[in-house]
Amino acid sequence: ATFEDQKEAQSGYKKRKDNLTVAWLAAIGGMLAGVGVWVLINQIGFIAGFAGYLIIHWGIKLFRQFGGTLSRRDVYIMFGLSVVMIIFAELLSTTFSYWRAFNNVFSISFFEVFKEVLKVIPKEPGILKNFLMNVAIGLGLSVWSSWGLIQSALNFTSAGGEKRVRRRNNRLM
């Protein structure tokens, strides 16, 4: 075999096709696991904002692990999806709190309480204020704790199949 044949055979092993459907499903699954951790921490009584780090981290990690090459657009989509997941986690946590309170008195299903919470949150200013404050604190803590992860994912995005590092200009003017 010639040198070109060997090089072509090796490049075939290095190139693997991205299976974006599986990668996105794995990322969403990882984010949903982070949502579960958020709800669990919130029910214990701690501030669950740092669980947002797990939502973002597990999303990016599982996306890469299941064959996705992370592009800059994917990082932005993943960050937006994690914001939606954080809002969903707080909504589930609020619903779970009300369900535990109502389930002691009434025999009511979780989904019935979820539908009622969706109706009540926009109408009641006290509940809405509490919900929005928890979401804002959670988003703030999540972005703060995972800023390095997001920045490194943006800096090490692929360009033409190779890893590149974006360098800042540190020259003094």
Stretch 109-119: mean pLDDT: 90
Cα separation, 49 vs 32, in Å, equals 15
Model confidence band, residue 167 (pLDDT cutoffs 50, 70, 90): low
> pTM here?
0.75
Q: So what's the pLDDT on residue 8?
A: 57
Q: Which helix (H) or strand (E) holds 30?
A: helix 20-44
Which of the residue ranges 19-33, 66-80, 140-154 has the most confident prediction, judged by mean pLDDT? Answer: 19-33
Nearest to 29 by CA among 85, 91, 87, 77: 85
